[in-house]
Amino acid sequence: MIVAERKPLTEIIKAVAPFAKVLVLGCGECVTVCMAGGDKEAKETAAAIAIARKKTGQELVVKTLTVERQCEFEYLESARKLVEEADVVVSLACGVGIQTMNIHYAKVQTLPGVNTTFMGLPLQQGIWVENCLGCGNCVLEETVGICPIARCSKSMLNGPCGGSQDGLCEVSKETECGWHLIVERMIKFDKLSVLSEVKPPKDWATSHSGGPRKMVREDVKL
């Protein structure tokens, strides 16, 4: 899933200050699951904007809506009436959803209400970890299913650096060393010898480093 975190309310309140009619738009997918931008958070955000505005006495009409999936045009149609009535939209979807809104409703500005952080998984209630950087050339079969690109702070391909100690990464005591996990799992699968192969420099052209990516599939195009 895509993991996000709501922006500080003060930041959102400041961003919508010039506008009288505000729509807070949640998304029913990833951001609902990671409790950053679902219906509940949309209502909370709207309430906070209303309270702040009361203090200033400035006019305000704030509405909320949560669409099923903000990152696809077809799901945005259900919001048309409210979007067109609004002066500004605060989207609590991930960066993809926010941009989908700005493309689909080009006349209204949609502002970000969350910071989109990473692609990852909920490890346990309240804890999410990054797992994939979308490098465009997956190597998980070489590393027993643990990503060296996303889970190693230095995206190393040929094994751990010299800073790994007690299973933790040198970057922080809160961060597991991805390579420690890989080596342990390799030993379990009796595959440590696989790591002896020298991996050549990675082709980063398939990643974002090669420029914004676009996928065209003739076989499924209409």
Partner 1 sequence: MSMSNLQKVVASGAFAVTGELGPPKSAERKKIEHHAHLLKGCVDAVNLTDNQTAIVRTSSIACGRILIEEGLDPVVQITCRDRNRIAIQSDVLGAVALGMKNFLCMQGDHAKCGDEPSAKNVNDLDSTNLIQSLRRMRDEQVFIGGKKLEAPIDLFIGAVENPFADPFEYRAYRLAKKVEAGADFIQTQAIFDMDRFELWMEKVRELGIHKKIPILAGIIPIKSMGAVRYMKNNVSGMIVPDAIIDRIKAAEDKKEEGIKLCVEMINHLKTVEGVAGVHIMAVAWEEIVPEITERAGLLPRPKFD
Partner whose binding site includes residue 34, from ligand SF4, partner 1, none (CB under 5 to 8 Å by kind): none
Nearest-approach distance from CB 169 to ligand SF4, in angstroms: 3
Task: Note whether 169 binds ligand SF4 by CB under 6 A.
Answer: yes
Task: Note whether 164 binds partner 1 by CB under 8 A.
Answer: yes
Partner whose binding site includes residue 103, from partner 1, ligand SF4, none (CB under 5 to 8 Å by kind): none
Nearest-approach distance from CB 16 to partner 1, in angstroms: 28
What secondary structure does DSSP assign to the chain, as a single string?
-EEEEEPPHHHHHHHHTT-SEEEEEEESSHHHHTTSSSHHHHHHHHHHHHHHHHHHT---EEEEEEES-TTSHHHHGGGHHHHHH-SEEEE-S-HHHHHHHHHHTTTSEEEE-EEEEEEEEEEETTEEEEEE---SS--GGGTTT--HHHHSTT--SSS--TT-BTTB-TT-TTSB-HHHHHHHHHHHTT-GGGGGSPPPPP-GGGSGGGSS-----TTT--
Select the residue interacting with partner 1 from 72, 87, 142, 170 (CB under 8 A): 170
Select the residue interacting with ligand SF4 from 67, 150, 182, 195 (CB under 6 A): 150
Select the residue interacting with partner 1 from 6, 53, 151, 180 (CB under 8 A): 180
Task: Note whether 91 binds ligand SF4 by CB under 6 A.
Answer: no
Partner whose binding site includes residue 91, from partner 1, ligand SF4, none (CB under 5 to 8 Å by kind): none
Task: Note whether 211 binds partner 1 by CB under 8 A.
Answer: no
Nearer residue to ligand SF4 within complex by CB, 58 or 209: 209
Select the residue interacting with ligand SF4 from 65, 132, 157, 186 (CB under 6 A): 132
